[in-house]
Amino acid sequence: MADAKVIPFDDDRSRGSRGAGSRRRGSAAESAPVGEGPGGEVQPLPVRGAAAQDPTTDPEEPDESPGARPTTEGGGEEGGEDGGLERRVAAGLSFLRRRLTGDYEVDDFGYDAELTDQVLMSLLRPMYEKYFRVEVKGVENIPAQGGALIVANHSGTLPLDGLMMQVAVHDHHPADRHLRLLAADLVFVLPVVNELARKLGHTLACAEDAERLLAQGELVGVMPEGFKGIGKPFGERYKLQRFGRGGFVSTALRQGVPIVPCSIVGAEEIYPMIGNSKTLARLLGFPYFPLTPTFPWLGPLGAVPLPTKWTIQFGEPIPTDGYAPEAAEDPVLMFNLTDQVREQIQHTLYKLLVQRRSVFF
C-alpha cells in the first residue's frame, strides 16, 4: 500500500498503510465474541416489591389494586430515578472495565466505535450545541445505508468544521450513521491528535483507504480544498478554492456511490486570518502559521474560537452508479462532475449567507 494513489484534495503527498483484518485490544478480547466481553453486559436489576416474592403473580396481568405499585416519597414509582441511576452507574463501570482490560474492538483503521459514541462525541457535543449552536439542514439527503461520499467546503484556520460535520451526522441522521473523515498527513504526525483522530474514525486521504471504506458501506467525508481552504485569508471567506484534480470523483465512480455536497457557514469567522507568518510555518513544519486579531497576541486565550452561529446543509446527492467502470479514468467526466459538486456547494453557501441574520446570532 506504500504506492497508494493519493486523492489530491488535501495535498499531493503519498500516504501510509495499515494491516488488514479487524482486531481487539487486550488478551481477553481474542476469545470473546465481537461486541461483548466476559461479563461485559450490564445485568438486569433485581425485581423489587411484591412481585419479586410472590411466584403466583402473572407477569402478563399486573395487579392494578391500590398499593400494588410501590412509590417513593416524591410520589414516583420506585426504581424510576434510582433504577435509572443504578443502570447508568453499572454501564459506566462496565465501560471502564472493558477499557482497562483491553476488551474492546477497533477496526482496521483504528476506529473505536464505543469510545466515540460514549466519550468523544460527548466531549464535542457541548461545542456543537451550546457554543456554535449548529443548525442542520437536509440530513435526509444522506443515504440510510450503503456507501456515500460527503464533500464539503473547508475553512476556519483549524479543522473544527470537519468535527462539527461529524457530530451533525452522528446526532441527526435517522439511521444513526457515522461519518469517517479523510484527513491530511499532518493530522497523523501530531502527538495526541493522531490517536484521537484514529479513534474517531479518521484516516489518511488516499484513494485506497477511501475505496475500502466505501466498499464496506461507510459514509466517507472529504474536504477537497485541503490546506488551501482552511488556511485562506479572511478576505477570501466563502470563496471556494480549487478542488484538486478530481480524485474524490474518481473514487466515487469506482465504487458507484453517490456524492453528497455539504455547505458549512459559520466556520470562516471563528479565527479571522488576517496574516500568515511563513517563517514560523516553515520552522514548525506547518502549511501556514495564522495571525488573527487575537492570536498570538493574547497567548492561549487567543486560541479560543469566536462563538459564531453555524449552519450545515447537506444537498441533493449526485448519483454515480449509472456510469461505466472505465468512467473513473475519463478526465473530462471527472472535471465536469467536480465542477458540478463545487458549483452546488458554492451556490448553497451564497444562499445561506443571504439568509443569515448575523454572524453570531
Confidence at residue 250, expressed as pLDDT on a 0 to 100 scale: 93
- pTM recorded for the entire structure: 0.76
Confidence at residue 8, expressed as pLDDT on a 0 to 100 scale: 44
Confidence at residue 80, expressed as pLDDT on a 0 to 100 scale: 59
Lowest mean pLDDT: which of 14-18, 101-105, 308-312, 315-319?
A: 14-18
pLDDT digits (tens, 9 = 90+) for 165-199: 999 999 999 999 999 999 999 999 999 999 999 99
Confidence at residue 104, expressed as pLDDT on a 0 to 100 scale: 86
Which of 317, 319, 289, 294 has its CA nearest to residue 305? 294
Query: How much of the chain, in percent, has pLDDT values that exceed 70?
Result: 77
Regarding predicted confidence, which is higher, 327 or 30?
327
Is the Cβ–Cβ distance between 28 and 38 less than 8 Å?
Answer: yes
Confidence at residue 126, expressed as pLDDT on a 0 to 100 scale: 97
Q: Which three cell numbers stand for residue 145?
A: 445505508
Which of 103, 48, 55 has its CA nearest to residue 78? 48
Regarding predicted confidence, which is higher, 267 or 24?
267
Torsion of CA 21, 7, 193, 23, to 10 degrees: 0
CA 157 to CA 231: how far, in whole Å?
Answer: 5
pLDDT digits (tens, 9 = 90+) for 47-75: 444 334 444 344 444 444 433 444 444 44
Burial 223-260 (b: 16+ CB within 10 A, else e): bbbbbbbbbbebeebbebbebbbbbbbbbbbbbbbbbb
pLDDT digits (tens, 9 = 90+) for 1-32: 444 444 444 444 444 444 434 444 443 333 34
Q: Categorize the per-residue pLDDT at 81 as very low, low, confident or very high, splitting at 50, 70 and 90.
A: low
**Quick check: 307 pLDDT over 90?**
yes
Query: How much of the chain, in percent, has pLDDT values that exceed 90?
Result: 68
CB atoms within 10 A of CB 58: 8
Lowest mean pLDDT: which of 73-82, 122-131, 266-275?
A: 73-82
Average pLDDT, rounded, for the chain: 82
Indicate the pairing of strand 290-291 with strand 203-204: unpaired
Q: Which three cell numbers stand for residue 215?
A: 466498499
Confidence at residue 26, expressed as pLDDT on a 0 to 100 scale: 43
Stretch 78-84: mean pLDDT, rounded? Answer: 63
Confidence at residue 305, expressed as pLDDT on a 0 to 100 scale: 96
pLDDT digits (tens, 9 = 90+) for 227-258: 999 999 999 999 999 997 889 999 999 999 99
pLDDT digits (tens, 9 = 90+) for 121-172: 999 999 999 999 999 999 999 999 999 999 999 999 999 999 999 999 999 9
User: Is 269 exposed, middle or buried (CB count within 10 Å of its CB: 0-12, 13-18, 19+)?
Assistant: buried
Confidence at residue 65, expressed as pLDDT on a 0 to 100 scale: 41
pLDDT digits (tens, 9 = 90+) for 86-103: 888 888 888 888 888 888
Confidence at residue 91, expressed as pLDDT on a 0 to 100 scale: 85
